[in-house]
Amino acid sequence: MDLKDAARTWQTDGFVILPAFLPEAELAPAVQELDLLFPSPDGFHDGTDPRRDRFLGDEFAGIDTFPFSSTEISLTAVHHRLLTLAATLLDDDDIHLYGAEAWAKYTGACDYDQDLHRDYLNHTVLVPSTTPGCRQVEMFVFLTDVPEELGPPHLVSREHTAHLPAVPNWLLRPGHEGGNRFTAPADPALYQAEVSGAGPAGTVIAFEPGTFHRGTQLTAPRGARYSMHLCFRPAGLQWGHRVGWATRSYTPEWTAFVGRATPRQLQALGFPPPGHPYWTADTLAGMSLRYPTLDLSPWSL
């Protein structure tokens, strides 16, 4: 799909599914380093990987946050094709990565089947907007194949949900009870309107924090799902955030990432672009001390 068509679908439906958007060859370095973060399917299911217990009983326990112990996976979070996709969807060249997670799920580790929900409660201090310039985009990126039996996310088009108020945020499956004003029973038609995001490795599902979607169960025997969850906004959009990168910018993982990233990738993490008044003889000298392996020539005066 051409990116302009992708943007139209994203605007109409609130999501767009791009099968194998990241080519296998470009994904391979990240896939080869998955074992730095997570047990292999055999390591988990045979119980031979001592890290396996972390994943039991809590669907969110399989999340690692940026910067990752694999530099290749960190670089994939700001892969040039993803930055171009985010810039196209948001119609803004200056975009910011405001959240980045890598997530492993294993069949039987816990219950991954979720109720339909929107993500905005922890992506913005406001509510989602479709006004140009005020949108945010989330992406699920599959690092390995995710067929239906490996629990792909399911999404519901805005066609069925645009009329719904901002609250409740969770629309529950039959038999599930809401405990607060953010949860309520769903119209069963919404669950029937779900579209599956199943797809091969490299598939990207771009959606808005206002799009109803949900995680589904892994049922494949000895199955594992490896994916990323990335969040982008226009750099100037102040109300959408999840983390402050500076709180992690002293780690060896961050320094290793910075040493290999391009100026465009670093701009997505908050580095001012070349030519910005921030770059002076003083700041360049400081940066060369802080990041000895970073080639500062793109920012040099």
153 contacts 215 by C-beta, under 8 angstroms:
yes
Residue whose CB is less far from ligand AKG, 135 or 214: 214
Separation between Cα atoms, residue 185 and residue 115, nearest integer Å = 10
Residue whose CB is less far from ligand AKG, 78 or 231: 231
64 binds ligand AKG (CB under 6 A): no
240 binds ligand AKG (CB under 6 A): no
Residue whose CB is less far from ligand AKG, 214 or 233: 214
- What does the per-residue mask of binding to ligand AKG show for 138-167, with x meaning CB under 6 A? ---------------x--------------
214 binds ligand AKG (CB under 6 A): yes
Of 45, 96, 135, 213, which lies in the binding site for ligand AKG, with binding defined by CB under 6 A?
Answer: 213
78 contacts 268 by C-beta, under 8 angstroms:
yes
119 binds ligand AKG (CB under 6 A): yes
Q: 137-142 and 204-207: which strand pairing?
A: antiparallel
| Residue 62, helix vs strand vs coil | helix
Pick the closest to residue 4 from 90, 130, 95, 88 (CA basis): 88
- Min separation Cβ 160 and ligand AKG, Å: 17
Residue whose CB is less far from ligand AKG, 233 or 299: 233
- Min separation Cβ 257 and ligand AKG, Å: 23
Q: Which amino acid is at 31?
A: V
Q: 170-172 and 183-185: which strand pairing?
A: parallel
- Min separation Cβ 70 and ligand AKG, Å: 19
213 contacts 25 by C-beta, under 8 angstroms:
no
Residue whose CB is less far from ligand AKG, 41 or 215: 215
- Min separation Cβ 24 and ligand AKG, Å: 21
Of 199, 202, 209, 215, which lies in the binding site for ligand AKG, with binding defined by CB under 6 A?
Answer: 215
Q: Which amino acid is at 154?
A: H
Q: Is the dihedral of CA 152, 157, 158, 161 positive or negative?
A: negative
What is the 3-class SS of 223-283, one letter each residue?
A: CEEEEEEEEEEECCCCCCCCCCHHHHCCCHHHHHHHHHCCHHHHHHCCCCCCCCCCCCHHH
- Min separation Cβ 187 and ligand AKG, Å: 19
Residue whose CB is less far from ligand AKG, 30 or 198: 198
Give residue for tokens 């990233």.
261
User: In DSSP terms, which residues pair with 190 in a beta bridge?
Assistant: none
Can you read off the two tokens belonging to residue 25?
């060859």
Number of chain residues interacting with ligand AKG (CB under 6 A):
6
- Min separation Cβ 118 and ligand AKG, Å: 9
- Min separation Cβ 31 and ligand AKG, Å: 18
Which residues contact ligand AKG by CB under 6 A? 114, 119, 153, 213-215
